[in-house]
Amino acid sequence: MMDQAQALRKLVQRRASQPQGTTPQGESEKRTPRVITITSGKGGVGKSNFTLNFGIMLQEEGMRTLIFDADIGMANIDVLIGSPSSVSLYHVLNGSKRLEEIVQVGPSGIHYVPGGSGFKELHEMSSSSLERFLDELSEWSERYDVILFDTGAGLSKETIRFVAAADETFVVTTPEPTAIADAYALIKIVHTHFPDTAFRIVVNRVMDWSEGKQTAERLISVARRFLQLELPVLGYLNDDQHVMQAVKRQTPFTLLYPNIQVSKQIRQLAQAFLYDQEQQNTTRGITGFINRWLRRIT
């Protein structure tokens, strides 16, 4: 008898083999969003603030952006926005809500899916509820250019699954040796199991550019030496008291303090990311994401 993971894989393979990129009439092209997972080895390094503000900057640059709060068990994004939500992905997975009913509109018109325990249950679902969820997700994802998954920290099974499934994984660290060591541990484990994972490094809470560069260099050199892996850098973000003030006021710092250095830096990262996107058009999209997600189920 096929086990449940096999049954789900078969289902997704069937979906993936359906023609993409056209409507039944073949007229308009469907969008394939770029899927990015944001993670870290150590907790509290600034992932959720980065995800939210980076997403807002992408949205302001004209990219339609969706943030999934994928921190299993601890909602982050809606708290940072000051708009706690009583619905989450959990309600979609248990069939009590449709995805479109739980997608929220946040600052600058960004869309987000509130966190909850939903993802834990994805691989425990029956084939019919999974099919319904995948239908909704792939239909809904066509509205976006970029989808950002904000995960919890560390090497949980769920986080590794997100990391391994995305087009790209941003690893956030701070200059603290413990954060760097944990970032390296995360990269090492993921790279060992899933060598095709594309990482980019974000160094948060730096004093200045040279501290960012030194921190990144430490990660780059150990990954090069021990994993034969080249780690590209997305950028460095200053440590700034205003970030904490913005968290307290439950308003994204880029909107509350648009002219501080860290807001300018994150805008530049978003612009550099977009420029890079235009250079390489290949994305695996949300169906690819789900496919790879299920492949990780063993």
Binding site for ligand ATP (CB under 6 A): 40, 43-49, 71, 76, 152-153, 204-205, 237, 239-240, 243-244, 247, 262
Residue 67, classed as helix, strand or coil, is strand
Residue 40 binding: pick among Mg ion, ligand ATP, none (C-beta 5-8 Å cut-off by kind): ligand ATP
Find, among 243, 220, 186, the residue nearest to 48 by Cα: 243
- Report how far residue 289's alpha carbon sits from residue 201's, in angstroms, rounded to the nearest whole number: 21
Closest to Mg ion by CB, 43 or 177: 43
Per-residue contact string for residues 50-79; x = within reach of Mg ion by CB under 5 A: --------------------------x---
Residue 240 binding result from ligand ATP, Mg ion, none, given CB thresholds of 5 to 8 Å by partner type: ligand ATP
Residue 44 interface partner, choices Mg ion, ligand ATP, none, CB cut-off 5-8 Å depending on type = ligand ATP
Please state, in angstroms and rounded to a whole number, the distance separating the CA atoms of residues 241 and 234: 22
From the list Mg ion, ligand ATP, none, pick the one residue 239 interacts with, judged by a Cβ distance below 5 to 8 Å according to partner type: ligand ATP
Task: Check if the beta carbon of residue 195 is closer than 8 Å to that of residue 167.
Answer: no
**Strands annotated E in the chain:** 34-39, 65-70, 104-105, 111-113, 146-151, 168-173, 199-206, 233-238
Q: How far is the CB of 77 from Mg ion (least distance, A)?
A: 8
Q: Which does 121 bind (CB under 5 to 8 A by kind): Mg ion, ligand ATP, none?
A: none
Tokens 């993921």 correspond to 190
Hey, how many other C-beta atoms are within 10 angstroms of the C-beta on 37?
A: 26
Site for Mg ion in 74-133 (CB under 5 A): 76
- Amino acid at the residue 1: M
Among 32, 37, 39, 48, binds Mg ion (CB under 5 A): 48
Question: Which one-letter DSSP state was computed for residue 62?
Answer: T
